[in-house]
């Protein structure tokens, strides 16, 4: 296997590009793909102040690293979710990554700051843990970005993530979600701009990037995510990809090029993300569709709740 660029021995094959790359040219490819996504989708300008949502996983650490390599002013924010040893390890990994590089990292621990954690919130609300986890992260990243004067929140969603979300939304024809599935969400009434610079790179490439850059990330999967629908969609798409390389990219970018605008145009006004009338949360001052926002409502519901021991799907 030879590198497509220099003909030196390759370390990775990317079947959807029908190409192999050595370490140097693979890392360059990753940076080029991120730069292209930023430019093509007009994510942000040079000199923008960026807040990277970091979890200790491969994608968030890689996107932080790539943005810094590209010269962007990017700080990190980590949220301690209280998911047992998994959160302990992801916190250690993230802190070590930032400290080794001397990059600014803000940390918010849910239990310390808001007196709840994700397993407890899941039990109190009787909803899946990913629901409380997503709500908490979205609110805190949004709040930190607005208060910190950042130009955008950066997340590590990659091509596989976006294709899997698209697959799920399409299976159920969730047209309201399809109408707003984009790699950029513009800032609006109290919400920061949100961008996904990794949409041109797959999960396999992100692991390869971390290995080749010597980035130590948490490999173990979140114990509360095991068996969720999103992972099932990825498995299905990867079975297709193995038979027909390039399918995931064609599916996602074909949607962006040829379908998303139709769903956006057809979305009833009330379902359009820029059309929902918002007021100010009486508790935190953030944007809200009611008297208090969903996050503050969650904090109130979990107040005084006995912390629950971590339970894992599939365990006895």
Q: For binding to other proteins (CB under 8 A), which residues are involved? A: 1, 9-13, 15, 20, 23, 57-59, 128, 130-131, 133-134, 137-138, 160-161, 164, 203-204, 206-208, 211-212, 214, 219-222, 224-225, 228-231, 234-235, 238-239, 241-242
Strands (E), the chain: 12-14, 19-21, 49-54, 73-80, 105-109, 152-154, 184-185, 194-195, 279-280, 287-288
- Please tell me the chain's helix, strand, coil percentages from 3-state DSSP, rounded to the nearest 5: 50, 15, 35
42 or 85: whose CB is closer to other proteins? Answer: 85
184 or 240: whose CB is closer to other proteins? Answer: 240
Give the list of residues 6+ apart from residue 311 with CB closer than 8 angstroms, or none.
119
β-pairing verdict for 194-195 and 152-154:
parallel
User: What is the rounded CA–CA span in Å between residue 72 and residue 54?
Assistant: 16
Question: Is the distance from CB of 224 to CB of 130 less than 8 angstroms?
Answer: yes
72 or 167: whose CB is closer to other proteins? Answer: 167
Least distance between other proteins and beta carbon 119 (Å): 14
Least distance between other proteins and beta carbon 265 (Å): 26
Least distance between other proteins and beta carbon 204 (Å): 5
Eight-class DSSP state of 304 = T
Least distance between other proteins and beta carbon 12 (Å): 6
48 or 81: whose CB is closer to other proteins? Answer: 81
Least distance between other proteins and beta carbon 153 (Å): 13
Least distance between other proteins and beta carbon 269 (Å): 26
15 or 300: whose CB is closer to other proteins? Answer: 15
Question: Is the distance from CB of 72 to CB of 154 less than 8 angstroms?
Answer: no
Least distance between other proteins and beta carbon 103 (Å): 22
Eight-class DSSP state of 309 = P
Look up residue 54 and give its two tokens.
């970091």
Of the candidates 32, 70, 36, the residue with the CA atom closest to the CA atom of residue 50: 70
9 or 268: whose CB is closer to other proteins? Answer: 9
49 or 297: whose CB is closer to other proteins? Answer: 297
Least distance between other proteins and beta carbon 246 (Å): 11
306 or 315: whose CB is closer to other proteins? Answer: 315
For 39-87, the DSSP string reads HHTT---TT-EEEEEE-SSHHHHHHHHHHHHTT-EEEEEEEE---HHHH
Look up residue 212 and give its two tokens.
């080749």
User: What is the rounded CA–CA span in Å between residue 55 and residue 157?
Assistant: 12
Rg for the chain (alpha carbons), in Å? 20
């Amino acid at each position: 296997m030879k590198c497509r660029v220099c003909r030196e021995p390759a370390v990775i094959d990317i079947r959807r590009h029908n190409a192999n790359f050595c370490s140097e040219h693979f890392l360059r490819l990753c940076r080029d793909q991120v730069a292209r996504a930023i430019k093509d989708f007009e994510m942000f300008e040079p000199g923008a102040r960026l807040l990277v949502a970091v979890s200790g996983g491969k994608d968030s650490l890689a996107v932080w690293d790539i943005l810094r390599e590209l010269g962007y002013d990017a700080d990190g924010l980590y949220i301690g979710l209280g998911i047992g040893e998994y959160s302990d390890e992801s916190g250690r990994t993230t802190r070590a990554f930032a400290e080794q590089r001397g990059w600014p990292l803000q940390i918010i621990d849910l239990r310390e700051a808001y007196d709840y954690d994700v397993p407890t919130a899941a039990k109190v609300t009787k909803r899946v843990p990913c629901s409380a986890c997503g709500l908490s992260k979205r609110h805190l990243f949004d709040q930190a970005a607005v208060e910190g004067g950042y130009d955008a929140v950066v997340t590590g969603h990659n091509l596989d993530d976006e294709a899997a979300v698209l697959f799920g939304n399409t299976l159920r024809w969730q047209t309201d979600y399809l109408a707003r599935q984009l790699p950029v969400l513009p800032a609006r009434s109290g919400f920061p701009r949100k961008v996904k610079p990794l949409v041109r790179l797959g999960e396999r490439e992100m692991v390869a990037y971390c290995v080749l850059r010597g980035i130590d990330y948490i490999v173990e999967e979140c114990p509360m995510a095991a068996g969720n629908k999103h992972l099932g969609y990825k498995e299905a798409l990867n079975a297709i990809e193995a038979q027909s390389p390039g399918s995931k990219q064609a599916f996602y970018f074909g949607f962006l090029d040829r379908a998303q605008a139709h769903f956006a145009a057809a979305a009833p006004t009330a379902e359009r993300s820029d059309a929902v009338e918002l007021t100010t949360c009486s508790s935190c001052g953030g944007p809200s569709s009611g008297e208090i926002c969903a996050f503050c409502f969650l904090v109130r519901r979990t107040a005084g709740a006995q912390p629950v021991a971590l339970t894992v799907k599939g365990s006895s």
